[in-house]
Homo-oligomer: A and B are copies of this chain.
Amino acid sequence: MNVLVIGAVALGPKAACRLKRLAPAARVTMIDRDSLVSYGGCGIPYFVSGDVSELNQLRTTSFHMVRDEKFFHAAKDIEVLTRTEAVAIDRRAKKVVVRHLDTGREQELPYDKLVLATGSTPNRLPIPGSDLDRVFTVANLHDAARIKELIAAGEVSAPVVIGGGAIGLEMVEAFRDLWGLETTLIEVREQVLPGMVSPNLAAMISHHLTAKGVAVHLHEQVLELGGSSRVEWLRTNQRTIKADLVVMAVGVRPNVGLARAAGLAITAGGAIAVNSRLETSDPDIYAGGDCIENQHLITGQPIYFPSGSLANRHGRVIGSNLAGAGQEFPGIAGTGIIKVFDLAVAATGIGLARAQQLGLDAFSTFVVQGDRAHFYPGMDLMYLEMIADRQSGRVLGVQGLSGNGDALAARINGVSAALAHNPLLRDISNLELAYAPPYAAAMDIVNALANTAENIRAGRNRVIDVDRFAARFTGRADHPFLVLDVRGPANARPFVDAYPGFWLNIPQDELRDRQAEIPRDRELILVCNSGVRSYEAQITLDQLGITATHNVQGGMAAIKKWGLALT
C-alpha cells in the first residue's frame, strides 16, 4: 500500500506513524511546503515569551530527537519531502501533482490512499497596511523565530495584538510577561475570548490583563496600519497608537483549496466534508485536523475547532483506518484551556449566548469556591460558571477561571467526559471526583455548581450576575435598591461606611432576630463572600415575607475579580 500524506504537522505525522505501526510494510510519504515539519505549533507563544528557549525544543520528541526528514526516515521508515507543495489531486489517476519549491520542478506522486492534513491559514484583516513588514500572523516557526529575533534585538517596544482569542491572549502574555513590553490588545467584540467564555468571565480576564499592565481595548475596530517601510502605527475607530510590531490573531480558516479543486465535498462552513471515519467524499481520501469540522456533542451541529490535541486524535483514527480498522471519531464538546498570565481559563460545552441562540431556555450559574479544602494551605478560589437548560435540566457547558490551571482542568475534564452522555444537573451533582483535602473540598466545586444550578432552576435561589450588579450599582441613583451584606461586621464595615444608607449589614445568622431593621419597601440585593450565605439569607427572608431580593452570584469574591471599584 502506497499512502501519501499532504501536510506534516500534528495530524499528518500522527496518521503516518500510526499506520506504519499497524502495517509496517506500507509505503508512506509525507509532503509539506515548509522546510520545518512536525513541530508543536501550540508552543509558539511560549517560544516567543522565552519560556521555551530554543526553537528546536518545539521540534523534538520527548526523548530529544529532532523530528526532521532524517528522523522520519530512520526511526519511522517514512519519507518526508519538505519544501514540496501539492498542486493538484488527480483522483481518477490517483496521483498528486507536487511542486518542489526550491527548484520549481513538478512531479506526480501516486497514491492508494491519500491523507489531507492541510491545516489552516490565519486570517489577515483586509485593511490598509496589513502587508507591511513586522505585521505577523502566528502561522509557523519562521514567524515565531522572526518575532523573537526582533524582540531580542531590542527592536520592539510597542507590540500590538489584534484579536482577543486564545492565540491573541497567549501572544499578549508572551510580549508582556518576561519581556515586559508595553503591549496593547485590541478586540473588535465587546469582550475577550468571545467564543469561549461569558461576558462576566471575560471581564475578569480583562481585569487581570489590565492589572498585568496590558492596554486592553475592547469593542474597537482596527482600520489601518501605517509606517514607511514597516509598521509604525495603528489606527482604530477610537484612537491611533504606536505599533512597531503587530500580530493579527483574528482566527484561522481551513485550507481547502486543493480539496475543492479536486471536487471533494466542502461543508457549508467551508471545511473539507468528512464522515465519522474521517473519510472525505472520496473514500480513498481522508482528512482531519484544522481543515475539517467536528460534530458538536451538545448542539449536534458542525463546529470548527482547530486544536493540536484534536488533530492528534484525528491522526490516530485516520492512521488506524488506513490500515482498515474502520474506527469512528466521536463528536466533541469543544473542551479547551488557555493560560493568561497567572490565570487559567477553561471551557467545555457551550456558553449561555450560544444556548440562547439555539432557542434553549438556558440559564447560567456562577460559583466561587476553593480549589481544595478551605483549611488546606495554598487554597485558592476557583470561579466556575455552568450553563443548563431550564426545561430539561440538561447541562450544556461549564467554563471558568483559576490561578491553578491543573486544578481547573481537573474540573473541566470531569465535566467534559460527562458531557458526552447528556448529563442532567443531578448527574453533575453526583459526579464522582477525586477527593482529599490537598486537592478538593469535600463537596467539590463542580458538585456545588450543579447543586446551585438546581436551586436556581427551582426558583429557590434568585440571582443577579456580577455584570448586572455592576451596572445597577453604577445607576443606583436612578433605580434605587439596597445592598444587604449578610457577612460578619468586620467584612461589611468598610462598605457600610463608604455607602451609608445604601449598604446595610445584618449577618445571615442574625436576620431572624433583627428582622425589624430590614426595610420592606426597597429591593434588596444580597451579598456575602461567595453567594452561599446570601442564598441562605434569601431563604430566611422569604420565610419572613421579604421576597424582593436577589443574590449576587459569586458574592464579593466575584465582584472583586470582576474589577468593580467599591469603597
Contacts and interface: CB of A to CB of B under 8 A. Distances in A.
A371 B46 CA distance: 17
Interface in A38-97: 40, 42-43, 46, 51-52, 57-58, 60-65, 71, 74-77
A542 B71 CA distance: 20
Nearest to A332: B432
Contact of A406 (B65, B329, B421, B439): B439
Interface in A421-436: 421, 426-427, 429-436
A510 B346 CA distance: 43
B440 A409 contact: yes
A437 B405 CA distance: 11
A214 to B, nearest CB: 18
Contact of A75 (B61, B415, B508): B508
A443 B42 CA distance: 12
Most chain-B Cβ atoms within 10 A of its Cβ — which of A62, A65, A529?
A62
Nearest to A529: B63
Interface centre among A63, A405, A509 (most CB of B within 10 A): A63
Given A404-B406, A414-B416, A339 B375 contact: no
A442 B539 contact: no
Given A413-B433, A417-B432, A439 B344 contact: yes
A432 B24 contact: no
Given A369-B62, A533-B63, A416 B442 contact: no
A444 interface: yes
Contacts of A338: 436
Contact of A412 (B24, B62, B76, B434): B434
Contact of A40 (B24, B434, B442, B528): B442
A418 interface: yes
A71 B509 contact: yes
Interface in A275-310: 307-309
A411 B409 CA distance: 9
A410 B406 contact: yes
A: interface residue count bin: 35 or more
A555 to B, nearest CB: 10
A376 interface: yes
A443 B62 contact: no
A120 interface: no
Contact of A375 (B52, B377, B434): B52
A337 B60 contact: no
Given A75-B509, A509-B71, A436 B336 contact: yes
Nearest to A345: B436
Given A63-B533, A409-B434, A434-B346, A312 B442 contact: yes
Report which residue of A406, A434, A512 has the largest number of chain B beta carbons within 10 angstroms of its beta carbon.
Answer: A434
Contact of A313 (B21, B76, B406, B430): B430
A370 interface: yes
20 contacts: A21-B455, A40-B437, A42-B435, A46-B437, A51-B377, A60-B374, A63-B530, A63-B532, A75-B536, A308-B442, A313-B447, A316-B429, A316-B451, A332-B432, A336-B434, A339-B436, A412-B434, A413-B433, A416-B431, A417-B417
Interface of A: 10, 14, 21-22, 24-25, 40, 42-43, 46, 51-52, 57-58, 60-65, 71, 74-77, 166, 307-309, 311-313, 316-317, 327, 329-330, 332-333, 335-339, 344, 346, 348, 369-371, 373-377, 404-418, 420-421, 426-427, 429-440, 442-444, 447, 451, 455, 460, 487-488, 508-510, 512, 528-530, 532-533, 535-536, 539-540, 542-543
State the 7 A-B residue pairs at the shortest beta-carbon distance, nearest first: A406-B406, A309-B435, A417-B417, A337-B434, A413-B414, A74-B509, A75-B509
Given A22-B460, A312-B443, 4 more contacts: A75-B509, A313-B443, A339-B438, A416-B431
